[in-house]
Amino acid sequence: MDRVALRGLKARGHHGVFPKEREDGQTFLVDIVLGLDTRPAAADDDLAKTVHYGIVAEEVVAVVEGEPVDLVETLAERIAQVCLKHEGVEEVEVCVHKPDAPITVPFDDVTVTIIRSRV
């Protein structure tokens, strides 16, 4: 299976279990890796035979900016389901970064990574 990756998609969301997270929002970063067969697209040099990663990027950002959820895990699942709706995408790896998570000790990042497939 071939891979098409988008790294560092950035959007502001209001996700989290604390009221301040819901009110103020924060920046989320998303990495996605789409698993699909790119051979038909490459053979014919045809965008219609692969995934349009620009559209996928817009849809992922819309999920992050959309309806708030408590858990990053839920956000990752919603993103995965949006990606799997694209014809030809058989598998997706989603990594959601929450670099401004409300943690009381120094840290660089919090991430949740999931892998989902059509099977």
Number of helical H runs and strand E runs in the chain: 4, 4
Alpha carbons 44 and 41: distance in angstroms, whole number: 5
Say how many CA atoms lie within 13 Å of 102 toward its Cβ.
13
Q: Is 98 tagged catalytic?
A: yes
Strand partners, 116: 92
β-partners of residue 118 are none
| Residues labelled as active-site residues | 98
